[in-house]
Amino acid sequence: MGLVTMVEILDKVHANGTAVPAFDAIDHASVEAIIKASESINKPVIIMVPEAALPLIDVDNYFEYLTYRLGKTKVPVALELDHGKSFNVIMKAIHAGFTGVMIDGSDLPIEENISLTRKIVEIAHAAGVSVEGEIGHVAGGEGDMTEGSEADENMYTKPEDAKRFVEETGVDALAVAIGTVHGVYKGTPKLDYERLKKIKNIVNVPLVLHGGSGVAKEDFVKAVENGINKVNLFTEISMAAVAQSINYAQKKQNKLHFAELVLIANKTVNAIALDYLKLLSLDN
């Protein structure tokens, strides 16, 4: 199976009204844990690398590892650059063999977002790479570990903007702002399902929910039932892996091998990824 285009995975879940989780992963242990989870129940998955986290990574080596490793999986896997903002980084991901890129122009005025996104779509499609765009704006840190944020209704996606954006850019998937934030929440997320339904009725590409961490399980199910096809997750998994590793180290009074910590992190990521893979395909 191995690496497939992002649209190949998204078109299937779009057609059958389910969703696929997309996990940001910026270390080898997490990638292996996610692959193991998806292979164990034979479900496709999307692995993402957020542009904001690149300073933490040996980028060339990591990209080479990802394209090699994901090329050998037993399930279809797509590899996406998450929250691409810089033209050069997007080009680097395409050249490295990523099968999807997100161009995030969501903090630009709509005209500029449309023209930037359309330009990336032209280049990426010529290389056989799928593109996700964003209209409206999901607040919070996009791949970094910022303080908690609150959703701002003024930045939610307007259905008529979503329709225009998709028609004029040719994106393969659309990230919508309906009440989630990236990273840790301040308060409790409250999703705007009426808005989601309106967008779903007039937009015919898969819809993406960013800021999955902190959303209640029943909200995910409702979001998928109302039109979400891809859910982006990062903070919850990364923080859980750290918390479990620290816990374990404390129990062993810090007398342990580094590999033991990596194993704990790997198991934590595996368990959470498995839960989401089952939950979002609505057959948990």
By annotation, the residues acting in catalysis are: 82
Query: CA 39 to CA 34: how far, in whole Å?
Result: 9
Query: CA 2 to CA 67: how far, in whole Å?
Result: 9
Draw the binding track, 82-111, toward ligand 13P (x: CB under 6 A; -: no contact). Answer: xx----------------------------
Query: CA 72 to CA 224: how far, in whole Å?
Result: 29
Selected from 210, 228, 269, 270, the binder of ligand 13P by CB under 6 A is 210
For the CB of residue 209, give the shortest distance to ligand 13P in the complex, in Å: 8
Structure tokens at 127: 């290389």
Query: CA 157 to CA 26: how far, in whole Å?
Result: 29
φ, ψ for residue 191, nearest 5 deg: -85, 140
Draw the binding track, 5-24, toward ligand 13P (x: CB under 6 A; -: no contact). Answer: -------------------x
Using the rule CB under 6 A, is 62 a contact of ligand 13P?
no
Using the rule CB under 6 A, is 233 a contact of ligand 13P?
yes
**Residue corresponding to tokens 């005025």:** 109
The residue range among 65-73, 187-195, 209-217, 275-283 that interacts with ligand 13P, by the rule CB under 6 A, is 209-217
Selected from 223, 234, 268, 281, the binder of ligand 13P by CB under 6 A is 234
The residue range among 86-94, 193-201, 221-229, 233-241 that interacts with ligand 13P, by the rule CB under 6 A, is 233-241
- The contacts of residue 120 (CB under 8 Å, 6+ apart) are 84, 87, 90, 101, 103, 131
Other beta carbons within 10 Å of 107: 12
Selected from 113, 213, 229, 270, the binder of ligand 13P by CB under 6 A is 213
Using the rule CB under 6 A, is 182 a contact of ligand 13P?
yes
The residue range among 68-76, 111-119, 194-202, 226-234 that interacts with ligand 13P, by the rule CB under 6 A, is 226-234
Using the rule CB under 6 A, is 30 a contact of ligand 13P?
no
**Residue corresponding to tokens 């609150």:** 150
For the CB of residue 104, give the shortest distance to ligand 13P in the complex, in Å: 9
Q: What is the DSSP string of 208-257?
A: EE---TT--HHHHHHHHHTTEEEEEE-HHHHHHHHHHHHHHHHHTTT-S-
Query: CA 119 to CA 78: how far, in whole Å?
Result: 22
Using the rule CB under 6 A, is 211 a contact of ligand 13P?
yes
For the CB of residue 57, give the shortest distance to ligand 13P in the complex, in Å: 16
What residues line the site for ligand 13P (CB under 6 A)?
24, 82-83, 142, 182-183, 210-213, 232-236
